[in-house]
Chains A and B, each alone.
Chain A
Amino acid sequence: MDSNPEDETSYTTQYQEAFLKYVENENWAKHRRAPVNELETVPRNNLLPSATTSGSCQSSFDPYHLSSSDGECLMPNNVAEMTPGRSDPAACVLTTASLYLNWPPDAPNNWGQIDSNLNDYQSSQMKIASTFWIPDITDWWRQQEETHSKYANLSNVAHDMFSIIPDGVGVEASFSFGRGDLGWSQSKTTGQTHREEVVVRQFARDNNGILAVTDPEIDTINTENDSVMNQEAGEMTLHRMSRVHDILEMWQGSENLRAAQKKSRA
């Protein structure tokens, strides 16, 4: 999944390749199989749609075709030929993803109640607040799923993807994490300090909130410090106990002396 900017392939091709690989890996992970790392054996350009491929893998709606056997999926012939041993649901989803990507973007007018003028960020600024999130593409994917359309296989992938909040992804997650670490009043904190704090917090979060590491070599200092502190605490306790013991002895001695004086008087 290398994305070398100097590569001759465009960003579009790189993103398309990365997306297809992600979809395939996700699909294979759901089927409890080994992750797929060598997708290069599948020439994706040959998976691309023609006008007649819309019916592939769409005979009945079955996400990822879990109930179908390996041979039941109706794939294009070129896919079956070029992916030996891959005539399975993963190949179906991959084909659907390729078909989806190479089909032109859908027009908002096809969405029924949606006004194309209220499409996106290009609308006037006064309308951004209310129209930026229109249309809701989850309805579109739900419609694909319910109508068993040619993209129905991909709807589960869309469900998984869109359940992720944007603040928890990639660089936005780091930004949100840093914002939570640095309050608005801490304007004098340097970037280096802030970076170190974020790294420490990130490390603690990845280790279930535990900052102490399990490596005994690294943890030696903490162990020694803990033993010294425990020893000092023990000595303090003994010292207090000895003082109490001395007081008790003095009290007992004074009691004995008082009893002896009473006897002598009597």
Chain B
Amino acid sequence: MSKTLTVTSHHLITVYNDMFDHMDGVMQAVAQNKTQWKEDLCFAVKLARQELSEYSAKVTATTGILLISTHLLDPLRKLRPF
């Protein structure tokens, strides 16, 4: 994201949502087999998801108005992801 030459702030909430989806998919796939490394991976992904949830919970209409506004100004999405 830091290497791009165009605006990126309107992608943040989408990135959050896609990361949540990706983590859920990984946990769902790993939970089917009970090998040690997969359990470790599932535990790590669960912690990462918890951490990301804390970040995502702070993007509210009060504290994350800039992120939300840039997202709303994306003509492709507007209010659709919410």
Q: Are A162 and B9 in contact (CB under 8 A)?
A: yes
Q: Using A22-B69, A161-B73 as known contacts, say yes or no to A2 and B62 having CB atoms under 8 A apart.
A: yes
Q: Are B9 and A166 in contact (CB under 8 A)?
A: yes
Residue in contact with B66 in the complex, picked from A12, A17, A104, A161, CB distance below 8 Å? A161
Q: Give per-residue flags for B1-15: 1 if the beta carbon is below 8 A from chain A beta carbons, else 0.
A: 110101111111011
Among the listed stretches A28-36, A130-138, A208-216, A246-254, which one makes contact with chain B, having 4 or more residues with CB under 8 Å of it? A130-138
Quick one: which of B4, B9, B73, B77 has the most chain A CB within 10 A? B73
Chain B, range 9-68, C-beta contacts under 8 Å to A: 9-12, 14-15, 18, 55, 58-68
* Interface residue tally for chain B (C-beta within 8 Å): 37
Q: Are B6 and A101 in contact (CB under 8 A)?
A: no
Q: Are B61 and A165 in contact (CB under 8 A)?
A: no
Chain A, range 62-103, C-beta contacts under 8 Å to B: 100-101, 103
Q: Are B55 and A138 in contact (CB under 8 A)?
A: no
Q: Are B10 and A19 in contact (CB under 8 A)?
A: no
Q: Give per-residue flags for A91-131: 1 if the beta carbon is below 8 A from chain B beta carbons, else 0.
A: 00000000011011110100000000001110000000000
Which chain A positions have C-beta within 8 A of B8?
133, 165-166
Chain A, range 177-235, C-beta contacts under 8 Å to B: none
Q: Are B69 and A12 in contact (CB under 8 A)?
A: no
Q: Give per-residue flags for A145-181: 1 if the beta carbon is below 8 A from chain B beta carbons, else 0.
A: 0000000001001100111111101111001000000
Identify the closest chain A residue to B18 (Cβ).
A121
Q: Using A108-B76, A137-B7 as known contacts, say yes or no to A170 and B1 having CB atoms under 8 A apart.
A: no
A14 to B8, CA, bound (A): 23
A120 to B72, CA, bound (A): 16
Which chain B positions have C-beta within 8 A of A163?
7
Q: Are B75 and A170 in contact (CB under 8 A)?
A: no
Q: Are A137 and B65 in contact (CB under 8 A)?
A: no
Identify the closest chain A residue to B14 (Cβ).
A121
CB within 8 Å of B: which residues of A?
1-3, 10-12, 14-19, 22-23, 100-101, 103-106, 108, 119-121, 132-133, 135-138, 140-141, 154, 157-158, 161-167, 169-172, 175
Known pairs A138-B6, A157-B73, A163-B7. 6 more at Cβ < 8 A? A135-B76, A137-B10, A137-B76, A164-B9, A170-B64, A172-B55
